């Protein structure tokens, strides 16, 4: 897919943050990240990848974890802010600030000028499963999230990622 | 709104903000308190040998992970551990779950304590989290430019890290080459604003530009100064102001500024350099 433009979901009185969207449009490559093995307190299934946005000379951080009731939480942050947040296998509707409701199970939050990603209300756009990516498991949720944000995953050893 | 109306309003905001959802293992209680991401605090309740078990469904360990506070010595991890130990909750490191067993008949306070602790941890975590190390930096932008110029395979034509004489001072310039076509010296300055002191970097850039592009000097030898900087717009205010300084002064002083974080500006700079460095022009 490359990049999903969420602009149609935003009310006319608000707008996307251009610099963030430009970074998301740019080609990005995810690479595996090694983690120290100290006695960390973590959910049982976690994934952390570096996402290289060469054009920007920046490395973004992509995280995924699953809670104990089977929902997948994904986040993409650049060095200063969170640029996308994905919720897969949710049970509830997400209510956008302009009154539009996004049905379960998958949606991705995006920041706008009025509603950055640290407020009670934020915008989200739906993520529809594809023929080969349901979003219902750890890997396909990651793949769908990356598909929508122009992130190439072919440098990551997906079979090595721990599954729930 | 009188006191009674206000009391009713607050009461309804709290009570209506609580919802209970049935899940496979029991039920989920959702509270009208949000974590730093704007998501509601939720706890799961299920039964075990006649007792109720409440747990945080892994939301706290997930928040710690997202914030990079999950490590053994991280402050977020320590706060979580101290609080759960103080309240004698179970902190399961294998499952990443905080839980508490409560008696159905007499332990409602424990349930309330649990909600209080989980909400408190979720509230405080973003404020103890250390900001991620900035990866933008002079080395990154400088290295990126160096790689791209190296790809043109024109060694000896482009001088790297060289000195250039201004009217009053001798300055360090990142790249310099001579374009024979119009006998022009092209100077390239990398001004990365991802550094600690973007204002000082911008001030240095403007001063350097004024000095090396002084009109008396330009009468003797023709020069063009290109300033490559990096500010992606979601940096802090100081970075943005520094970028504005570099942009604003380019017309007055006569240099050309290119924001490398902007794909169009980057492409325009690259194309200009490639054209200059084509064998026909050197």
The token duo for A21 is 């969207």
- What count of other Cβ atoms lies within 10 Å of the Cβ of residue A81? 14
Identify the segments of chain A with pLDDT beneath 70: 1, 34-38, 158-164
Q: What is the pTM of this model?
A: 0.65
Q: Residues 6 or more apart from B139 whose CB is under 8 A from it?
A: none
What integer pLDDT is reported at residue A111 of this predicted model? 94
Question: Distance (Å, rounded) from C-alpha B269 to C-alpha B259?
Answer: 9
Q: Which of A20, A41, A122 sits opposite B93 (nearest CB)?
A: A41
What integer pLDDT is reported at residue B232 of this predicted model? 63
Tell whether domain B3-131 is in CATH 3.20.20.
Answer: no
Instruction: Say if residue B194's pLDDT is above 70.
Output: no
What is the DSSP secondary structure assignment for residue A160, as one 8-state letter?
A: G
- pLDDT tier at B191 (50, 70, 90 boundaries)? confident
- CA A57 to chain B, closest CA, distance in angstroms equals 6
Domain layout of chain B by residue ranges? 3-131, 146-276
Subunit contact B232:A56, Cβ cutoff 8 A: yes
**Three-state SS string across A140-158, please?**
HHHHHHHHHECEECCCCCH
What is the DSSP secondary structure assignment for residue A15, as one 8-state letter?
A: -
Q: Do residues B168 and B211 touch, judged by C-beta distance below 8 A? A: yes
CATH number for the domain running over B146-276: 3.40.1350
The token duo for B162 is 């060289």
- What's the whole-number average pLDDT of chain B? 84
- pLDDT tens column, B114-151: 999 999 998 888 888 766 554 444 456 777 777 776 66
Subunit contact A56:B135, Cβ cutoff 8 A: no
Mean pLDDT of B38-45: 89
The token duo for B44 is 């799961």
Subunit contact A38:B94, Cβ cutoff 8 A: no
Instruction: Say if residue B271's pLDDT is above 60.
Output: yes
What integer pLDDT is reported at residue A81 of this predicted model? 86
A33-37, B74-78, B104-108, B249-253: range with lowest mean pLDDT: A33-37
Question: Distance (Å, rounded) from C-alpha B102 to C-alpha B161?
Answer: 69
Q: Do residues B143 and A54 touch, judged by C-beta distance below 8 A? A: no
Question: Distance (Å, rounded) from C-alpha A106 to C-alpha A90?
Answer: 6
Residues 175-194 of B with CB under 8 A from A: none
What integer pLDDT is reported at residue B59 of this predicted model? 94
Subunit contact A57:B140, Cβ cutoff 8 A: yes
A36-40, A99-103, B46-50, B202-206: range with lowest mean pLDDT: A36-40
Please, which residues bridge with residue B43 across strands?
Answer: B29
Residues 214-253 of B with CB under 8 A from A: 230, 232-236
Residues 78-107 of B with CB under 8 A from A: 80-81, 91, 93-97
**B103-112, B127-136, B153-162, B178-187: which has the highest mean pLDDT?**
B178-187
Mean pLDDT of B100-127: 86
């Amino acid at each position: 897919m490359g990049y999903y433009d969420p602009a149609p979901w935003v009310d006319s009185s608000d707008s996307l943050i251009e610099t963030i969207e430009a970074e998301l449009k740019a080609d990005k490559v995810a690479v595996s990240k090694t983690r120290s093995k100290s006695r960390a307190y973590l959910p049982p299934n976690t994934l952390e990848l570096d996402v290289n946005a060469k054009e920007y000379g920046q490395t973004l951080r992509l995280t995924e974890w699953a809670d104990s009731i089977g929902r997948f939480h994904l986040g993409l942050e650049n060095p200063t802010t969170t640029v996308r947040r994905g919720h897969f296998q949710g049970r509830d509707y997400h209510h956008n600030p302009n009154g539009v409701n996004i049905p379960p199970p998958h949606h991705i939050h995006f920041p706008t000028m009025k509603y950055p990603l640290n407020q009670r209300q934020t915008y989200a756009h739906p993520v529809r499963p594809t023929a080969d990516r349901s979003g219902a498991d750890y890997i396909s949720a990651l793949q769908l999230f990356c598909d929508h944000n122009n992130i190439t995953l072919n440098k990551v050893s997906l079979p090595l990622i721990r599954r729930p | 709104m009188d006191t009674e109306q206000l009391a009713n309003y607050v009461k309804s905001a709290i009570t209506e903000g609580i919802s209970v959802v049935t899940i496979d293992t029991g039920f989920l209680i959702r509270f009208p308190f949000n974590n730093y991401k704007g998501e509601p605090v939720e706890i799961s309740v299920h039964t075990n040998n006649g007792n109720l078990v409440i747990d945080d469904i892994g939301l706290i360990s997930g928040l710690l992970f997202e914030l990079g506070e999950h490590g053994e010595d991280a402050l977020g991890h320590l706060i979580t551990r101290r609080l759960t130990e103080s309240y004698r909750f179970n902190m399961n490191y294998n499952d990443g779950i905080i839980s508490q067993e409560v008696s159905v008949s007499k332990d409602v306070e424990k349930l309330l304590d649990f909600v209080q602790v989980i909400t408190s941890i979720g509230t405080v975590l973003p404020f103890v989290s250390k900001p991620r190390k900035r990866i933008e930096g002079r080395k990154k932008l400088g290295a990126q430019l160096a790689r791209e110029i190296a790809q043109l395979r024109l060694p000896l034509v482009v001088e790297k890290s060289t000195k250039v004489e201004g009217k009053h001072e001798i300055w360090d310039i990142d790249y310099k080459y001579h374009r024979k076509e119009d006998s022009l010296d092209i100077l390239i300055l990398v001004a990365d604003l991802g550094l600690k002191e973007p204002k000082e970097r911008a001030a240095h850039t403007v001063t350097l530009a004024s000095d090396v592009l002084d009109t008396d000097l330009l009468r003797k030898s023709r020069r063009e100064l290109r300033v490559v900087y990096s500010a992606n717009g979601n940096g802090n205010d100081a970075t943005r102001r520094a970028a504005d300084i570099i942009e604003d002064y380019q017309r007055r002083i006569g240099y050309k500024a290119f924001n490398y974080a902007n794909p169009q500006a980057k492409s325009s700079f690259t194309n200009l350099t490639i054209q200059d460095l084509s064998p026909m022009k050197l």
